[in-house]
């Protein structure tokens, strides 16, 4: 299982946190997603053989947030 911290802009409240965590968790291969609102990032634990960084970024952007690349 791989781990990665993705920087995300625009998450300000608990609902933002839930949206991003929910969108990532819905992807096949994502085991765990945990948003840190103060740090503006999301820590993900995922299976590299099933999901990659660009699909995770896309899922976050679909929720209306900007991923820092
Ligand atoms: Mo509350 Mo988070 O309006 O965008 S959902 S700040």
Average pLDDT of the chain, as a whole number: 98
Please name the residue whose Cα sits nearest to atom 1 of ligand 1.
Answer: 13
Average of per-residue pLDDT across 49-55 = 97
pLDDT at 69: 83
d(C-alpha 59, C-alpha 61), whole Å: 6
Domains and CATH numbers, the chain: 2-67 (3.30.70.100)
- Reduced to 3 states (helix: H, G, I; strand: E, B; else coil), residue 69 is coil
Q: Which residues contact 6 (CB under 8 A, 6 or more apart)?
A: 41, 42, 44, 53, 56, 57, 60, 67, 68
pTM, entire model: 0.95
Nearest ligand 1 atom to alpha carbon 16 = 2
- Cα–ligand 1 centroid distance for 13 (angstroms): 5
Which ipTM was obtained for this model? 0.82
Confidence of residue 57 (pLDDT cuts 50, 70, 90): very high
Phi, psi of 65 (to 5 degrees): -110, 155
pLDDT at 9: 98
- Which is it for the CA torsion 46, 48, 49, 50, positive or negative? positive
Average of per-residue pLDDT across 9-26 = 98
């Amino acid at each position: 299982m791989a781990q990665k911290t993705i920087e995300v802009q625009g998450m300000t409240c608990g609902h933002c946190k839930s949206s991003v965590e929910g969108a990532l968790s819905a992807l096949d291969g994502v085991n765990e997603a945990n948003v840190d609102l103060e740090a503006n990032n999301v820590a993900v634990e995922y299976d590299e053989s099933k999901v990659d960084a660009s699909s995770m970024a896309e899922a976050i952007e679909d929720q209306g947030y900007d991923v820092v690349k």
